[in-house]
Structure 1
Amino acid sequence: MSIHSNRGKHARAAVLAGALLLPLAACGSGSGTGTTGTGGTTGTTGTAGAAGSSAAIAKDAELAAAVPAEIRGRGSLIIGTNAPYAPLEFFAEDNKTLVGFDIDTGDALGQVLGLKVDWKNTSFDNIIPGLEAGRYDIGIAGFGIERERLEVVGFVSNYLSGGGFLVKKGSGIKANDFKDTVCGLRVAVQSGTTQVERLEKAEKYCAGAGKKPVQIIRIPDQNQVVLTLSSGRADVVSADKPAVEWAAKQSEGALCVTGTYRTPHSLAGIAVPKRNAALNEVLQKAMTKLISEGHYKRIAEKWGVVDGAIEKSEIFTKPEQVGDGDEIFPQPIKEGCA
């Protein structure tokens, strides 16, 4: 199964603010202030160890020796990320500790490579330029592996994603695509994401089909996206599948996911700058080790994203490796939500 992560595109193949949904009970800023932690330890980057269990993750001496000399000499792996984007990366209740599937995965990779992990939280559109400028060694932030991005970075696949629609439970709203089911609705969405592009196409479709127009409510802050729905100022939220499912879970029954969809291409991956191309093979082999030893599955189970777990990690360095289609495949409306 290959489904697409929908975090938005930057004009240069970087990205604009990730599509999100921080749990309603949590809060935190997506500012450019960095948080630093040690891979696999409790502190500012986790709650119970990198793998989300007591299982030890051994250093692989051969892979550690293959890490580029600059990083190996420093002894730390600097990773750019963008919180909040639960359940992949977001803030714990102290508003400063980074937690989530991506965070545990990055910390686990650090353990395999014998490196401390230094997480830097920044705006989503700053990560790829930061990789090019040498501020970060890699980026882990729910990146969809897209043709435009492959012009400037490589990717090591680490996750599968899709999209979904979040509504108030019992609202009667049934949305699962970007055509008929969103016409006439007020749709809240994070600015700059791929969902915005799809909704803009929906605007044209609804108009051409003689249906009521879709009203796109673009919001920079993802906390406000969910709050716009909760307050009744929007009818539905459009975002990535793990994000809407997480938000529904945190709402204690007030919100639910009425429909989801898949796309025909692209995985989510770890972004690797061209200057650190040697890391592609190192990270792919480290991911393979985490998968084969069961650590990756435990991390996915901890954060409730097992359906997005991959069975094999691959390297992407050329645009032609990725499909160019924009088609989506809506899944059946979920019973008991609308």
Structure 2
Amino acid sequence: MVDKIGRSLATALVLVALGPASAVRAGADSVYDLSPEQTGRIHVKPNPQAIAAVPADFRFVTPGTFTVASAVGGPPLNTYATDAKTVVGADPDLASAIAESLGLRLTIIPVAWADWPLGLSSGKYDAVISNVGVTEQRKEKFDFSSYRKGGHGFFVRLDSKIGPISEPKDAAGLRIIVGAGTNQERILVRWSEENVKAGLKPIELQYYDDEATQLLALQSGRADVIVQPHSTLVFIANRDKNIKRVGFLSAGWPERSDVAITTRKGSGLANALTIATNGLIASGDYAKILDRWQLSEEALAKSETNPPGLPKY
């Protein structure tokens, strides 16, 4: 048994060390295309309404180009292609479709997550498309055009008998892997408290140092469920083919939580981006983009300018 667990851990560590592109080639190359060419990318025609909504006095960073910042975090949202320099993923695909809707070329600038607020405020790029969640605090400094649901996934072993998880009682008594200090931890602590008040068993939260040991704990039976950002677990499920989704939870539970294109406050560009996004939704191209990256569960029915954001905690 120890040897089996040791071999599983070694395999998991190798996959993590190889990085996302190698992991995809090893196990899910038929699902994700991480080539720099992106031959399957969805292309669209210019949207006259969106173009007309761009304020006459708005100046793009580079004329004729939509310059977008992306904090490269990992597949399937935004990652480096197999050439180790081209940024690909669901967010770059959306950025490309928005640029084409506006009749513009696209330039993606990779940035560190901590750097995008200052870079956007100082005019280094026109927008940020990088899984930025809408919050009331961020709305004080930026404008938003929503394009995806922010959510966490509940995933279990492929052979698990655990049923759907959609509310606190569904998780009572389960051993759940979660990241320390994360939003999902905050939610699950509240769920556990609600369960105890209702006379149900508390949730046992488990913490591990890295992804490899988290996945090993799940596969070895030391944990029942893993909760992480939904998109991350979707990628892992397609890569490893040994976990499955049993639940999707709003990242702002019990409130809604949208992910949005982020622009400078008062720049006037947000309305045009909202119109462009709704044009993609109406044409079906938006659905194709999400489906290409296995993220259909995160689809919004419509884009909104400055939708309700998560409250200040």
Q: Normalising by the residue count of structure 1, what TM-score does the alignment of the two structures yield?
A: 0.66
Bigger mean CA offset, 67-76 vs 159-168: 67-76
Question: What residue in structure 1 maps to residue 183 of structure 2?
Answer: 194
Matched-pair contact (CA < 8 Å) for 1:66–1:282: no
Q: Which secondary structure does the structure 1 equivalent of 2:73 belong to?
A: coil
User: In the alignment, does 2:96 pair up with 1:107?
Assistant: yes
Q: Which secondary structure does the structure 1 equivalent of 2:45 belong to?
A: coil
**Partner residue of 2:257 out of 266, 284, 307:** 266
Alpha-carbon distance change, 199 to 89 in structure 1, aligned in 2, over 3 angstroms: same
Alpha-carbon distance change, 265 to 106 in structure 1, aligned in 2, over 3 angstroms: same
Bigger mean CA offset, 234-243 vs 173-182: 173-182
User: In the alignment, does 2:145 pair up with 1:149?
Assistant: no
Matched-pair contact (CA < 8 Å) for 1:64–1:112: no
> What is the CA distance between 1:110 and its match in structure 2?
1.8
Matched-pair contact (CA < 8 Å) for 1:157–1:267: yes
Alpha-carbon distance change, 92 to 64 in structure 1, aligned in 2, over 3 angstroms: same
Q: Which secondary structure does the structure 2 equivalent of 1:145 belong to?
A: coil
CA distance in 2, matches of 1:192, 1:144: 17
Deviations, residues 1-54 of structure 1 (Å, cap 9, x unaligned)? xxxxxxxxxxxxxxxxxxxxxx9797259xxxxxxxxxxxx975x612641xxx
> What is the CA distance between 1:194 and its match in structure 2?
1.7
Bigger mean CA offset, 102-111 vs 194-203: 194-203
CA distance in 2, matches of 1:192, 1:131: 27
Matched-pair contact (CA < 8 Å) for 2:53–2:272: yes
Deviations, residues 42-73 of structure 1 (Å, cap 9, x unaligned)? 975x612641xxx5533756467748314243
| 1:235-246 equivalent positions in 2, closer than 5 A | 235-246=224-235
Question: What residue in structure 1 maps to residue 279 of structure 2?
Answer: 289
Matched-pair contact (CA < 8 Å) for 1:143–1:269: yes
| 1:7-156 equivalent positions in 2, closer than 5 A | 27-28=19-20, 44=36, 47-48=38-39, 50-51=41-42, 55-58=43-46, 62=52, 66=56, 68-73=58-63, 75-84=65-74, 86-113=75-102, 114-123=104-113, 125-156=114-145
> What is the CA distance between 1:77 and its match in structure 2?
0.7
Residue ranges of structure 2 left out of the alignment (5+ in a row): 1-14, 22-33
Q: Which secondary structure does the structure 1 equivalent of 2:270 belong to?
A: helix
> What is the CA distance between 1:130 and its match in structure 2?
4.1
Q: Normalising by the residue count of structure 2, what TM-score does the alignment of the two structures yield?
A: 0.70
Which residue identity does 2:258 align to in structure 1? L
> What is the CA distance between 1:80 and its match in structure 2?
2.6
> What is the CA distance between 1:146 and its match in structure 2?
2.7
Question: What residue in structure 2 maps to residue 229 of structure 1?
Answer: 218
User: In the alignment, does 2:201 pair up with 1:211?
Assistant: yes
Matched-pair contact (CA < 8 Å) for 1:25–1:250: no
Matched-pair contact (CA < 8 Å) for 2:58–2:267: no
Q: Which secondary structure does the structure 2 equivalent of 1:315 belong to?
A: coil
Alpha-carbon distance change, 251 to 75 in structure 1, aligned in 2, over 3 angstroms: same
Matched-pair contact (CA < 8 Å) for 1:24–1:251: no
Which residue identity does 2:116 align to in structure 1? I
CA distance in 1, matches of 2:57, 2:18: 36
Matched-pair contact (CA < 8 Å) for 1:266–1:322: yes
CA distance in 2, matches of 1:148, 1:27: 34
> What is the CA distance between 1:256 and its match in structure 2?
1.3
> What is the CA distance between 1:291 and its match in structure 2?
2.8
Question: What residue in structure 1 maps to residue 305 of structure 2?
Answer: 315
Q: Which secondary structure does the structure 1 equivalent of 2:300 belong to?
A: coil
State, as a whole percentage, how many aligned pairs show the same letter: 24
**Partner residue of 1:176 out of 150, 165, 187:** 165
**Larger Rg belongs to:** 2
> What is the CA distance between 1:119 and its match in structure 2?
3.2
Deviations, residues 97-121 of structure 1 (Å, cap 9, x unaligned)? 4322211001111223313222314
